[in-house]
Chain A
């Protein structure tokens, strides 16, 4: 069954605040095998000009996915998760996320379409601090293989 096109343009309320922690950033950096000290050593991060340890560029996916997975689980969207692969990903950054940031993520379904035998869905997730400062916007395109109507 195809992804339900009625969900195009749907915006979901911002997530509960997410607090970026040093331990989580170090765990994520370890998992991607990145030994850069700016992700785990506060003094090194400050020497490079940041207020605290920063997040690797792809870390915001952790926050955006937690929000977009709520959207993907919406009854009636008809997304078959076992057939889903990640098609495209893009981030636009106003600044790096750093430990101590408290952010929310607001998801909009910005595109739903069929390409050949596959169904594509793009979400746009805006990540802002609770003070209202824009940090990053993440655009994720998921492909449901064989999902076209």
Chain B
């Protein structure tokens, strides 16, 4: 968890440096259980491949949660997320090994709005693939 960011400290164009988050088969199994989303493509390689996927893929919501964590860690505990949206542009493919996949998230302050709100544009990559597009969060800072 980062320190508390305040609205006055933030400038449009500020870059938020990349943070890497791991996604292993164990992460997906835990996410299945905690979320209630047991879609077989997130844990069964045989079925994932039979429906044309390269391997088991992460839940889109798992990836979105990692980018969300990037936002809340940067913004600090008193910041309120007002809006958060993404498009899932490419799956995070999670191989059956000890490393799994890595999701790298970075961001930019795109706008400062009234009422202490700031707009963050987010980028999330796994390998060479952009896994989220149009990823954007609006947070209200103290």
Binding site for B on A (CB under 8 A): 24, 27-28, 30-38, 44, 47-49, 56-58, 61-62, 65-66, 81-93, 95-96, 139, 145
Min CB gap A23→B, angstroms: 11
Task: State the total of A-B contacts with C-beta under 8 angstroms.
Answer: 116
Given the complex of chains A and B, what is the CA–CA distance between A57 and B77 in angstroms?
12
A30-B66 Cα distance, complex, nearest whole Å: 12
Q: Is the interface of B mostly helix, strand, loop or mixed?
A: mixed
Is A36 a contact of B68 with CB atoms below 8 Å? Answer: no
Having A48-B78, A58-B65, A58-B84, one finds 8 other A-B pairs with CB under 8 Å, namely A27-B33, A32-B66, A33-B66, A36-B1, A56-B69, A82-B40, A88-B86, A88-B87
17 contacts between A and B (CB under 8 A): A30-B34, A31-B27, A31-B30, A32-B34, A32-B66, A34-B72, A38-B1, A57-B72, A57-B81, A62-B34, A62-B35, A66-B36, A82-B51, A85-B88, A85-B91, A89-B64, A90-B83
Q: Give the size category of B's interface with A.
A: 35 or more
Whole-angstrom distance from the CB of B79 to the nearest CB of chain A?
9
**In the complex, chain A residues whose CB is within 8 Å of the CB of B73:** 36
- The B72-120 residues at the A interface (CB cut-off 8 A) are 72-73, 77-78, 80-88, 91
Q: Is B21 an interface residue (CB 8 A)?
A: yes
A140–B91 CA distance with the chains assembled, in angstroms = 17
Are A92 and B82 interface neighbours, CB within 8 A? Answer: yes
Which residues of A have CB within 8 Å of B80? 93, 95-96
A83/B1 contact (C-beta < 8 A), A61-B61, A90-B84 known: no
> Is A86 within 8 A of B60, CB to CB?
yes
Residues of B within 8 A of A62 (CB): 34-36
Query: How far is A61 from B73 in the complex, measured between Cα atoms in Å?
Result: 20
Residues of A within 8 A of B87 (CB): 87-88
The docked-state distance in angstroms from the alpha carbon of A93 to that of B139 is: 10
Least CB distance from A46 to B in Å reads 11
CA distance A32 to B91 in the complex (A): 17
